[in-house]
Structure 1
């Protein structure tokens, strides 16, 4: 069932995703140096436009490619930023696509060359990823799609049965175990 075709809301993509940062300039500089993102614009106000409350902020925007914008807020009058301690650090993250596995490995070399710890590549069956943290403590992922059209089609077919089984049992459904087998086979072939 194609819900989007009949839905009254017609989305045109993500306008921007916004996160908090400790220091706007440091964040802009880091994303430019580490990921090559262009700083495109900023808004700075003393009062929040949507609520009218006094809360000075700097809101910076970075081009993540392909029309995607990543934004950050520096909020100097708020308590120091933290993170949701009830959620593991690996859960909340920003994931960016790179064009190939080779590009992923080049990115890993570059990022490690800047003295940043990088985890991976991790094989997810249909994509491979590396992970690292920005200066604000946000986990960042770079991912390279490596799956076939048939694999993506199969995942789409099993998506609803997997969700329904998870909803009923809260245990990992086995509908896509073949993804893990792909990773195991590749790891075994590498020795």
Structure 2
């Protein structure tokens, strides 16, 4: 029983309309599901992914219109990376970001790969990472109707970086409970701080890594627009998913219990630093209620919310 890698990352936006514009028109991702937060259906939950909404390619956003500014700091998911096919793609993106006034850094090496860090319009911390030498989990297929040339398109999620105070507790959770293994480490960009340590699962590679940054020199992050809410890890199927719940129980890890998200099955837990981690099944998938060619075109609601459609739609502002 082994987790396959990163399933999705869920973040916060204060403006769903501007969010859709940035992630589809600037980054070229496909909006594969336009739905609502199942726990708070008055807010949008938008899912961006590859051509077919493959597991491991999915970056999602909850819209919280009154979300304040994020004060960056400890005990947070401090960076989300997005995979591109090769090193050449990074040069394309660097020029695109310059032309479109997207804040970005220079191309630099992280963990043996070339990367390009940038921010969205709300300060979301993002990193493009090259799959040039990836030998692990395969990426997805760029959206065919994307404004980005296919050879440079985003093919999925790369490593997530966790910035934490209690690194021993998080390492124990990831290695002894979730089955990750240490892969290596690389120098922090912050002078005088310990190396960032890389852990991987499953086939390994760009789509199956967590990078742990140990910091004691910063205060705890105060999340808001532009912050990450949680990271989800891939479980192959529902039978294995229930075995994971049993394993969490065996280790006395507090968790949410089984949650049916309709498009996948989930269980939520927290690491010792309070970061929310989700385990999610690869299926059933986003085409369970929409045809592949029409994903994300209309408001999709899980069956238990369908009877409230009129009320929910009345509260949501159009995205176009």
TM-score, length of structure 1 as denominator length: 0.69
The aligned residue for residue 188 of structure 1 is none
The aligned residue for residue 303 of structure 2 is 180
Give me the whole-angstrom Cα distance separating, in 2, the residues matched to 1:26 and 1:148. 33
Going from structure 1 to structure 2, the CA distance change for 1:144 and 1:156 (only over 3 Å counts) comes to farther
- SS of 1:54's partner is coil
What residue ranges of structure 1 are gaps of 5+ in the alignment?
163-174, 184-191
- SS of 1:57's partner is coil
Task: Tell me if structure 2 keeps the 8 A contact 1:132–1:140.
Answer: yes
Residue number among 161, 173, 178 corresponding to 1:18 in the alignment: 161
Task: Tell me if structure 1 keeps the 8 A contact 2:263–2:286.
Answer: no
What residue ranges of structure 2 are gaps of 5+ in the alignment?
1-143, 307-320
Task: Tell me if structure 2 keeps the 8 A contact 1:58–1:75.
Answer: no
Cα deviation per residue 1:37-79 (whole Å; 9 max; x = unaligned)? Answer: 111112345xx3xxxx634133111103343211110023x22
Going from structure 1 to structure 2, the CA distance change for 1:10 and 1:176 (only over 3 Å counts) comes to closer
Q: How far 1:147 moved relative to its partner? A: 1.8
Give me the whole-angstrom Cα distance separating, in 2, the residues matched to 1:17 and 1:42. 14
Q: How far 1:83 moved relative to its partner? A: 4.1
Q: How far 1:35 moved relative to its partner? A: 0.4
Residue number among 69, 89, 110 corresponding to 2:209 in the alignment: 69
Alignment coverage as a number of residue pairs: 160
Instruction: Name the Cα RMSD after superposition.
Output: 3.1
Asked if residue 79 in structure 1 is aligned to residue 218 in structure 2, the reply is yes
- SS of 1:56's partner is coil
- SS of 1:125's partner is coil
TM-score, length of structure 2 as denominator length: 0.43
Larger relative contact order, structure 1 or 2 (CA cutoff 8 Å, min sep 6) = 2
Q: How far 1:149 moved relative to its partner? A: 8.0
Give me the whole-angstrom Cα distance separating, in 1, the residues matched to 2:163 and 2:253. 21
Structure with the larger helix share = 1
Give me the whole-angstrom Cα distance separating, in 1, the residues matched to 2:252 and 2:238. 21
Give me the whole-angstrom Cα distance separating, in 1, the residues matched to 2:191 and 2:270. 31
